[in-house]
């Protein structure tokens, strides 16, 4: 079985970069998305996230979708910067509906703008407190 989520090499201590393929399985969601993003959030008190939807992306398994929604409600309010590359229309709608919870700076990029999305994420400098 191939992974439905790939952690991209740009991932660092504050930002998770993921590439989604096919139909997201619950096991891949937990291992390659939920666990890493929660670890970043726990360490920093906040996180950044880039999600790159491959052309072959079909959606989420029912269980993975439920876990994703739980993650959004649990830690979505601590996101600082979110980038979505080639997201399906449903994701854009969901993120707009979640605006009361997620206050992060959010941008949507076309597939051909992946490099720009990565650069935008890497340019983030957290304010000092």
**CATH number, residue 39:** 3.30.750.24
Q: What tens digit of pLDDT does each residue of 95-121 get? A: 888 888 888 999 999 999 999 999 999
Domains contained in the chain, number: 1
What does pTM read for this prediction?
A: 0.92
Domain range for residue 96? 5-122
Q: What tens digit of pLDDT does each residue of 63-88 get? A: 999 999 899 999 999 999 999 999 99
Is residue 127 assigned to a domain? no
Is residue 128 assigned to a domain? no
Confidence of residue 2 (pLDDT cuts 50, 70, 90): low
Is residue 89 assigned to a domain? yes
- pLDDT of 84 reads 96
Beta-carbon contacts of 83 under 8 Å, excluding residues fewer than 6 positions away, are: 49, 50, 51, 106, 107, 108, 109, 117, 120, 121
């Amino acid at each position: 079985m191939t992974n439905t989520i790939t952690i991209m090499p740009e991932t660092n201590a504050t930002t998770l970069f993921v590439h989604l393929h096919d139909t997201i399985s619950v096991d891949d969601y937990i291992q390659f998305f939920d666990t890493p993003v929660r670890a970043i959030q726990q360490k920093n008190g906040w996180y950044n996230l880039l999600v790159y939807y491959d052309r072959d992306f079909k959606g989420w398994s029912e269980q993975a979708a439920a876990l994703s929604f739980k993650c959004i409600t649990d830690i979505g309010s601590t996101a600082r910067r979110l980038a979505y590359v080639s997201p399906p229309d449903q994701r854009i709608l969901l993120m707009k509906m979640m605006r009361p919870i997620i206050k992060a700076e959010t941008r949507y990029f076309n597939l051909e703008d992946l490099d720009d999305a990565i650069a935008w994420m890497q340019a983030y400098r957290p304010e000092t407190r």
